[in-house]
Amino acid sequence: MGLPDQLTVARIVAVPIVVLLYELDFPDHNLWATAFFAAAMATDFFDGRIARSRGRTSALGTLLDPIADKILVLAVLIALVDQAVFPGWMVAVIVAREFLVSGLRLAAIERGVVLHARDLGKLKTWSQAVAAAVGGLTAAGAWTNDVAWWALLVALVLTLVSGLDYARAAPRLLRGGAVA
């Protein structure tokens, strides 16, 4: 397993640590959790760049990268619902969209088609990650819940628009056609 795949796996391994840091009660735990989350999410920037620069992308990395992103970001969003930073309904909509698009990806794989991340999907992921970081800093006392709410609203809108983009491509994809 090369360095890019190791970075992706490290993001998955970071999930229980980040959640535990949010849940444990010690001085500045939300700040520590958010810093650890940000460091883990930063690996998403590097894993793909390193793989492409070395010409060594892998099927494992292509499969695990979006899963690692989803697990890490959704875990933080859910942890912040527990801390009353984010409204549960907004996070539930984001989680539902992630499951639906993941189901679409699985259906595509069954038909021998790999559904690569679309640019709008990448923007959606980063907007969710920024909202999670803003929410974490809000939990740490840096901002009010209103700031976190607006950050999550932007992520929610991009999540829905991105989901519609995938849904638009789904009929062609599921018939085995190319996705533009």
CATH of the domain at 28: 1.20.120.1760
Taking residues 58-87, what's their average pLDDT? 90
pLDDT category, 171, cuts 50, 70, 90? confident
Is residue 70 in a domain? yes
Domain that holds residue 157: 3-174
Is residue 179 in a domain? no
Is residue 31 in a domain? yes
Model pLDDT, residue 41: 95
Is residue 74 in a domain? yes
pTM for the predicted model, two decimal places: 0.90
What does the mean pLDDT of the chain come to? 89
Taking residues 76-104, what's their average pLDDT? 95
| Number of domains the chain is built from | 1
Is residue 65 in a domain? yes
Is residue 138 in a domain? yes
Q: Is the pLDDT of residue 178 over 60?
A: no
Return the structure tokens found at 59.
């099927």
Distance CA 112, CA 109 (A): 5
Taking residues 122-147, what's their average pLDDT? 96
Is residue 180 in a domain? no
Model pLDDT, residue 177: 54
Is residue 83 in a domain? yes
